[in-house]
């Protein structure tokens, strides 16, 4: 197996990941000539490195970093023969937590490079042509991501402070959400479309979402005051956000979100400017990824391969 490791040294909390690069180099020393390591130098570089790895015939490409690094590497692996591995060392690690990947880097690396390994076919999504693997969002969601990305110190406490600051300067967006034949007009504090169940740090924005069901979950949170925001925050971590009367939840393969003006969106925590009209669509089972053997949130390979078919033996 030809193996490519792509490491983002800027992922996660400052200083927490100091031992990861020596760990990767130690693994390379034991793996021999079948493995290679590349270190990213800036935004977009992980995608470039992953595309080069696919073109060079690498069988597995391992992203070592956070949700943003995962996104960049995945961009090169959509519908590609190469399999994605993940060593999560970011601030949120939403997809990793959803899949139950090991939290310790050494254990996550052992799983990511294992041969043989359990490989699942995961859905991904696009928003106006931009890929997301875990979640995208507009409104408060995107503003928090924009502010958080400017911090030098990361982690859940920093994220909570950033979210609170964004909440106090929030602006409600008037949105029209179209899902198939259904149309909803509402004032929204945030609109998120999730592939997995959570943002990261166990904050479950879409408690019933799965990454291999061929649909995405849209969650819109209507305006709330300070007390209501506290209740929403508690529900996020209890996993019952969808039970709130201030929350609209829709599920489907495609959504249109119409806003009054262009603005910021985020894809897996990275922010971009987007038009007033936003098109979100699922890419069913477009990404092959190593998952834990006992992972319960994706179907077994046999079920994935035969989904939608009834096999009868004469």
136-161 per-position pLDDT tens digit: 999 888 887 777 666 666 666 766 77
- Give the burial class of 253: count Cβ atoms within 10 A of its Cβ; 0-12 exposed, 13-18 middle, 19 or more buried: middle
Phi, psi of 295 (to 5 degrees): -60, 125
**Residue burial 28-51, b: 16+ Cβ < 10 Å; e: rest:** beeeeeebbbbebeeeebbbbbbb
- In order of their start, the domains of the chain are 3-117 (3.40.50.10330), 130-283 (2.60.200.40)
Helix (H) or strand (E) holding 86: strand 83-88
Written as tens digits, the pLDDT of the chain (314 aa) is 899 999 999 886 655 677 899 999 999 988 877 899 999 999 999 999 999 999 999 999 999 999 999 999 999 999 999 999 999 998 889 999 999 999 999 999 999 999 899 999 999 999 999 999 999 999 888 887 777 666 666 666 766 777 777 776 777 889 999 999 999 999 999 999 999 999 988 999 999 999 999 999 999 999 998 888 889 989 999 999 999 999 999 999 999 999 999 999 999 989 999 999 999 999 999 999 999 999 999 987 555 543 332 222 22
CA distance 250 to 179: 8
Distance from C-alpha of 145 to C-alpha of 153, rounded to nearest angstrom: 14
| pLDDT value of residue 289 | 98
Question: Residues 74-89: pLDDT tens digits?
Answer: 999 999 999 999 999 9
Q: Which residues of 189-228 are buried (b: 16+ CB within 10 A; e: fewer)?
A: bbbbbbbbbbbbbbbbbbbebbbbbebbbbbbbbbbeeee
Are the C-beta atoms of residues 137 and 173 closer than 8 Å to each other? no
3-state SS, residue 89: coil
């Amino acid at each position: 197996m030809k193996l490519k490791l792509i490491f983002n040294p800027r992922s996660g909390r400052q200083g927490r990941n100091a031992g990861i690069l020596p760990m990767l180099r130690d693994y390379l020393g034991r793996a021999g000539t079948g493995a290679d390591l590349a270190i990213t130098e800036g935004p977009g570089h992980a995608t470039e490195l992953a595309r080069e790895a696919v073109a060079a015939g690498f069988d597995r490409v391992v992203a070592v970093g956070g949700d943003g690094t995962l996104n960049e590497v995945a961009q090169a692996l959509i519908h590609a023969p190469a399999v994605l591995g993940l060593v999560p060392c970011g601030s949120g690690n939403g997809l990793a937590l959803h899949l139950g990947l090991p939290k310790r880097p050494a254990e996550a690396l052992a799983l990511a490079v294992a041969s043989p390994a359990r490989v699942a076919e995961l859905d991904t999504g696009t928003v106006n042509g931009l890929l997301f693997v875990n979640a995208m969002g507009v409104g408060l969601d995107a503003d928090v991501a924009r502010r958080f990305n400017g911090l030098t110190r990361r982690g859940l406490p920093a994220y909570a402070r950033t979210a609170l600051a964004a909440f106090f300067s929030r602006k409600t967006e008037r949105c029209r959400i179209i899902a198939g034949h259904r149309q909803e007009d509402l004032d929204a504090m945030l609109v998120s479309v999730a592939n997995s169940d959570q943002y990261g740090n166990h904050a479950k924005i879409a408690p019933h979402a799965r990454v291999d069901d061929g649909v995405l979950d849209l969650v819109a949170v209507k305006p709330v005051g300070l007390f209501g925001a506290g209740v929403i925050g508690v529900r996020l971590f209890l996993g019952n956000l969808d039970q709130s009367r201030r929350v609209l939840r829709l599920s489907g393969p495609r959504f249109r979100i119409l806003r009054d003006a262009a603005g910021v969106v985020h894809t897996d925590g990275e922010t971009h400017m987007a038009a007033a009209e936003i098109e979100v669509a699922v890419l069913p089972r477009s990404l092959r990824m190593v998952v834990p053997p006992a992972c319960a949130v994706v179907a077994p390979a046999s079920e994935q391969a035969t989904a939608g078919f009834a096999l009868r033996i004469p």
